[in-house]
Chains A and B, each alone.
Chain A
Amino acid sequence: MAQKKMAIIATKGALDMAYPPLILASTAAALGWEVQVFFTFYGLQLLRKDLSGIHISPLANPAMPMPVPMPVVVQMLPGMEAMATSMMKAKMKKKGVASLEELRTLCLEADVKFIACQMTVDLFEFSKDDFIGGIEFGGAATFLKFAGETDVCLFI
């Protein structure tokens, strides 16, 4: 069986959307696939050395399961984002869900290629030091060359 290939474009930086690209990439790599993930816009946040800024907000997230119903006027109060983030992280830890750092390390160990969108880096004036090592910097055309040959291409 020829080796399968997967390309993922990761565009989101909130805690809930950080998981799909990393879980899919690490699992596909475990299955022997060749995987590349292109991190652009808010997805670039997932490549930072310090991931403590990855949060989840209860505001305007009507699909988020809540212990008690929470009207929007309460969701927007100061401190609610921090509370939702710590509650979500605590729940993940309790249920044995890996941390983002762990999933990221597993991906890199499994030879998943991480590409940071150079344009987004320039746009938000990030420095290369903000990011973890072992990643490449590239543009859309470079990524699309690989994406065009994949069995699975996802936009997250």
Chain B
Amino acid sequence: MSYDKEFDASGLACPMPIVKTKKSLADMASGQVLRVIATDPGSVSDMQAFTEQTGHTLLSSTTENKKYIFLIKKA
């Protein structure tokens, strides 16, 4: 799936993946897609909670090469 921007949160622990994701989304236009890479296992449920609370859409949450990959569409 294509994306407009990517943010690599590898090596960052809670709450950084979520806080930095919010920051990355702030500069994007509505409908654009952000790809986030994380190594923190907690980020899987955190990303779900984040999108539910903020109204953005979690298009996918997958694992690739021992990293967690999220695609988020800005509301």
> Which of under 10, 10 to 19, 20 to 34, or 35 or more describes the interface residues of B?
10 to 19
Tell me the chain A residues, 15-67 only, with Cβ under 8 Å from chain B: 23, 26-27, 29-32
Tell me the chain B residues, 5-37 only, with Cβ under 8 Å from chain A: 11-16, 18-19, 21-23
Residues of B within 8 A of A (CB): 11-16, 18-19, 21-23, 39-40, 49-50, 53-54
**B15 cross-chain contacts in A, Cβ below 8 A:** 23, 26-27, 30, 98, 103
Q: Does B13 contact A97, Cβ atoms closer than 8 Å?
A: yes
Q: Does A30 contact B19, Cβ atoms closer than 8 Å?
A: yes
Residues of A within 8 A of B (CB): 1, 4, 23, 26-27, 29-32, 95-98, 103, 106, 109-110
A132 vs chain B, min Cβ distance (A): 19
CA distance A32 to B13 in the complex (A): 20
CA distance A4 to B34 in the complex (A): 25
